[in-house]
Structure 1
């Protein structure tokens, strides 16, 4: 446990292959954390299908007005099946991220943490921009502050883990190349 805590530190030097492997596996921990967040969000949608649909209807009318033809057409597509499909898609993405985490754990590399870090950074940036710009859609969803704060904290933790995983994977590549020559 102490070894992982030390290796998760993004400023730790990675001198040996074991240290680099442990650091690269931090990317897998970040993937597992990201997958749990996605899975919990999907389950939360399923637990309150009607509430989720009501919020989506409220967002549509807040953004475009009640009389808009676009809103009337969009409202007709807001059915429970849409929520079920969205939740299924969230679970499928979470399973895909778990698979990437397992691959990163068994065969540490630098590509998986890099890609997941970019996705996490994009998601965090969009969340923060939505909050700062007073986006009418975000305001209409009435997401509690604690949920946004928790999402930001988890995203920041994932970014640190992915950065450490990337560093470890890069160091592993460098050490293996040096050993091969």
Structure 2
């Protein structure tokens, strides 16, 4: 267990192939953290139908056509969220089996976008009166989790680079 914790530290030196492989897999661990967060979000959404109905009611403003459109958009959003969690799980498995730079960099970009989106959410809620706002504790927790994920991807890239270097030296 201590080897894994050491490998996930971006400041720890990588000297062996096993250390490099563990550090490279930190990227996959970050993706799996995202899968867990996504599943928790979906479970919370399904467990709180009142919050979903409040959002639909706020968006529709007593207009039946707008209510139908809001309900349809909600369903599409839920299915899309579930689909993205499945895609993220698949990419996490791929990254675990064969750590690659592309997936790590892709998720780093997505995480950076997520941090900006999370920080902008309270500002956007002020622009739409009557819409349910995301609680600040949830925004702060999301940002902390995304920063941890970003650090794990940085560690993963460091491990991938070192693993490539070690394997190249071994093949000579």
Quickly name the TM-score band, shorter chain normalised: 0.7 to 0.9
Give the corresponding residue for 2:9. 9
SS of 1:141's equivalent in the other structure is: coil
Q: Which runs of 5+ in 2 are unaligned?
A: none
Alignment match, 1:112: 103
Tell me the distance in 2 between the aligned counterparts of 1:112 and 1:138: 38
* Within-5 A mapping of 1:47-86: 47-58=47-58, 60=59, 74-79=66-71, 81-86=72-77
TM norm structure 2: 0.85
Unaligned runs of 5+ in 1: none
Aligned residues: 172
Tell me: CA distance 1:24–1:139, structure 2 relative to 1, closer, same or farther (3 Å): farther
Matched, 1:159 2:150: yes
Moved more, 7-16 or 125-134: 125-134
In the TM superposition, residue 137 of structure 1 has moved relative to its aligned partner by 4.0
Q: What is the CA distance between 1:134 and its match in structure 2?
A: 6.7
Alignment of 1:41-52 (within 5 A): 41-52=41-52
- Shift of residue 32 of structure 1? 0.6
Contact kept, 8 Å, 1:30 with 1:161, in 2: the verdict is: yes
Contact 2:125 2:131 in 1 (8 A): no
- The question of 1:146 aligning with 2:119 is answered no
Residue 95 of structure 1 corresponds to 86
Q: Conserved in 1, the CA contact under 8 Å of 2:119 and 2:139? A: no
CA shift for structure 1 position 138: 9.0
* Partner of residue 31, structure 1: 31
Alignment RMSD, CA only?
2.5
Q: Deviations over 1:30-68 (max 9, x none)?
A: 01100111111122222223422322442x47xxxx69x
Q: CA deviation at 1:108?
A: 1.8
Q: Which moved more, 1:109-118 or 1:21-30?
A: 109-118
